[in-house]
């Protein structure tokens, strides 16, 4: 378990910044994001639509809360859950041979591939470190 | 560490996000409740002239020879079988814009298809075609699977007309 407070602060800023940016880049065009979700061929059309309306806001709120340090453990829990979900989703997509953009950063998104899997793995490690940090103010 | 508090906090964030999401996109959500966006995710304001069609309309356009049929699947699948007279424009090579312009005027109707079922290539390519300037774009939802299964004219190989 990481106890170094400045390292934990850096983790918060990295994960928070990534999620805040991801949310802001998607929030303006929910239909485009819904299509990106559909491209993974996992959820139904309706679920994709509703997820596209809500998920960017979850990312924006969690990102802002992690950056500011308010509500950091609940935010870290949500972010960890989301990242675990993304990792499974990307893994399944690669295994099924589906060639699609991840849709993570709106029009700046790149392919759902191994590199993205590794990136999300690092972010998950950072967010879990924040969630289980021992210090009072990570 | 109080996990009860952490989960409650996470629930609160999700609730706040849901409220923000619905408030920010309320007109869109209203349209969804009225039945729009149930089959496709095109905004009629952003992509005018882009519609989903079924087998009957695709067949009609094929018989009248009014429309250019566009196969958005990978080249290999096109080669194994495609709608007769369709041209191959694989989405994988034309994701952001068309690599080479189509030999067809913008005013002509185009019918885009992929495998059918839950395939998404046709809708994505339809948006690219719209960006290129085509204004009457029909996405044939049943796609290759339905067309071939119902015994409509097909061809094999890569002799794109």
Give chain A positions within 8 Å (CB) of B22.
Answer: 53-54
- Those residues of chain A whose CB sits closer than 8 Å to some CB in chain B are 27, 30-32, 34-35, 38-39, 41, 45-46, 48-49, 53-58, 60-62, 65, 71, 73-75, 77-78, 81, 99-100, 131-132
Q: Each residue of B45-68: pLDDT tens digit?
A: 677 778 888 898 899 999 988 899
Q: Token pair of B68, please?
A: 């250019």
Q: Where are the beta strands (DSSP E) in B4-145?
A: 50-53, 67-71, 82-83, 87-88, 109-113, 137-140
| Test the B interface: residue of A33, A69, A73 with most B CBs within 10 Å | A73
**What are the sequence ranges of the domains in chain B?**
3-33, 50-155
The alpha-carbon gap from A118 to the nearest alpha carbon of chain B, in Å, equals 24
Alpha-carbon distances, residue B142 vs B42, B54, B138 (angstroms): 17, 6, 12
Residue B161 pLDDT level (bands cut at 50, 70, 90): very low
Lowest mean pLDDT among B21-25, B120-124, B125-129, B142-146: B120-124
Tell me the whole-structure pTM to 2 decimals.
0.73
B23 touches chain A (CB under 8 A): no
Chain mean pLDDT for chain B = 87
Interface pTM, i.e. ipTM:
0.89
Chain mean pLDDT for chain A = 89
Question: Which option is the CATH number for B50-155: 1.10.3720.10, 3.40.50.450, 3.40.50.280, 3.40.250.10?
Answer: 3.40.250.10
Among partner residues B6, B41, B124, which is closest to A74 by beta-carbon distance? B6
B15 touches chain A (CB under 8 A): no
Residue B39 pLDDT level (bands cut at 50, 70, 90): low
pLDDT at B23 over 50: yes
Q: Which residues pair with B113 in a beta bridge?
A: B71, B140
C-alpha span between A121 and A51 (Å, rounded):
22
Alpha-carbon distances, residue B67 vs A68, B49, B89 (angstroms): 56, 14, 15
**Could A74 and B12 be called an inter-chain contact, meaning their C-beta atoms sit closer than 8 Å?**
yes
Look at residue A113 in the predicted model and tell me its pLDDT. 84
The residue with tokens 């969690």 is A62
pLDDT at A17 over 90: yes
Report the SS3 class of residue A133: coil
């Amino acid at each position: 378990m990481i106890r170094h407070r400045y390292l934990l602060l850096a983790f918060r800023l990295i994960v928070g910044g990534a999620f805040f940016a991801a949310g802001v880049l998607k929030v303006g065009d929910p239909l485009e994001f819904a299509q990106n979700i559909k491209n993974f061929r996992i959820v139904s059309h309706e679920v994709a639509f509703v997820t596209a309306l809500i998920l960017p806001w979850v990312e924006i709120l969690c990102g802002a809360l992690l950056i500011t340090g308010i509500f950091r453990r609940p935010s870290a829990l949500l972010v960890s859950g989301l990242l675990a979900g993304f990792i499974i989703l990307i893994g399944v997509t690669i295994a099924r041979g589906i060639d699609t953009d991840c849709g993570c950063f709106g029009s700046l998104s790149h392919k759902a591939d191994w590199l993205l899997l590794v990136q999300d793995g690092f972010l998950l490690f950072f967010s879990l470190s924040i969630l289980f940090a021992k210090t009072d103010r990570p | 560490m109080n996990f009860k508090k952490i989960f409650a906090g996470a629930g609160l964030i999700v609730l706040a996000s849901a409220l923000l999401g619905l408030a920010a996109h309320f007109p869109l959500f209203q349209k969804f409740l009225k039945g729009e966006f149930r089959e496709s995710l095109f905004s009629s304001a952003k992509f005018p002239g882009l519609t989903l069609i079924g087998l009957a309309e695709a067949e009609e356009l094929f018989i009248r020879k009014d429309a250019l049929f566009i196969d958005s699947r990978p080249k290999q699948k096109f080669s194994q079988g495609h709608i007769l007279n369709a041209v191959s424009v694989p989405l994988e090579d034309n994701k952001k814009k068309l690599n080479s312009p189509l030999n067809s005027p913008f005013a002509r109707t185009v019918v885009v298809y992929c495998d059918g079922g839950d395939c998404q290539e046709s809708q994505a390519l339809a948006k690219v075609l719209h960006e290129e300037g085509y204004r009457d774009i029909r996405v044939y939802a049943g796609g290759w699977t339905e067309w071939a299964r119902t015994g409509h004219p097909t061809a094999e190989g890569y002799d794109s007309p």
